[in-house]
Amino acid sequence: MKPVAIFRASPTEGPGYFATYLERRSIAWQLVSLEANARVPRDARAYAGLVFMGGPMSVNDDLPWIAPAAELIRDALRKDVPVLGHCLGGQLMSKALGGTVRANPVKEIGWGEVQVADNEVAREWLGKLQSFVSFHWHGETFTIPPGATRVMENAHCPNQAFALGKHFGMQCHVEMSEDLVRSWLASGNDEIVAARSSPAVQPPEEITRELAPRLGALNEVANRIYDRWVEGLSKS
């Protein structure tokens, strides 16, 4: 089977737990470092699946990789190659598929509950799970693109995830590991201080409280989503 391509937009926002998940299942993956000017492939069929990670930029920014990455996502849909997006990656998927990305009413940084939508598509991806506590770090949000279904939501951001066939875009971060959390806190403390008036922004000491069990529970939710997603990987 061809490898899964993981597109990284920032050196601090790698695949985290998702890489661990793939390696445990002996699924090969290849990192495409967009922040280092790696070329965006034109043919989605070069990979078994495409995964887009987060980043501090906006998909509305004039960056050289955004337009070709959006076209690659559209190519993947045409060729039935599954796409998975985390935060910025989910926003890029939405924009590529006809949605829009704009400022969220408040910033979300830290741990917060997410509700699973009451529809059949959500149950296909998350089973009987009704809610869970996820990690968040975003100031923008996407709309649900045409033809897709909202599958997750919360009080601060109504569109936390959408599904379109074998493709899945998220606003929240289910890929978190301890290294990622601590790295983001080290580099993003000024952002936390500037946004501390937001009801959805937590101080670092709250974010790191009971970190191991919180991450363990989040990994279990990620397993559900990733299990469903890898079912669609292209085998040829």
> Is residue 91 in some structural domain?
yes
Active site residues: 87, 173, 175
> Is residue 213 in some structural domain?
yes
> Which pLDDT belongs to residue 20?
98
pLDDT, the chain, mean: 97
> Which pLDDT belongs to residue 230?
98
Residue 236 has pLDDT above 80, yes or no: no
13-52: per-residue pLDDT in tens? 999 999 999 999 999 999 999 999 999 999 999 999 999 9
> Is residue 236 in some structural domain?
no
> Is residue 120 in some structural domain?
yes
Q: Based on the structure, what is the number of domains in the chain? A: 1
Q: How does residue 235 score in pLDDT terms, banded at 50, 70 and 90? A: confident
> Is residue 235 in some structural domain?
no
> Is residue 28 in some structural domain?
yes
Question: Would you state the structure tokens that stand for residue 26, as one six-digit string?
Answer: 């002996």
> Is residue 168 in some structural domain?
yes
Q: How does residue 174 score in pLDDT terms, banded at 50, 70 and 90? A: very high
Q: Cα(89)–Cα(175) distance, rounded to whole angstroms?
A: 12
CATH number of the domain residue 16 falls in: 3.40.50.880
The residue among 219, 215, 212, 202 whose CA lies nearest residue 112 is: 202
Q: Where are the alpha helices (DSSP H) in 51-134?
A: 66-78, 88-96, 120-126
**Domain boundaries, position 148:** 4-230
In this prediction the pTM is: 0.97
Q: What is the mean pLDDT of residues 109-130?
A: 98
Q: Cα(82)–Cα(73) distance, rounded to whole angstroms?
A: 9
Which strand ranges, in their side-by-side order, compose the sheet holding 149-153?
Answer: 29-33, 4-8, 49-52, 83-86, 167-170, 161-164, 149-153, 101-116, 131-142
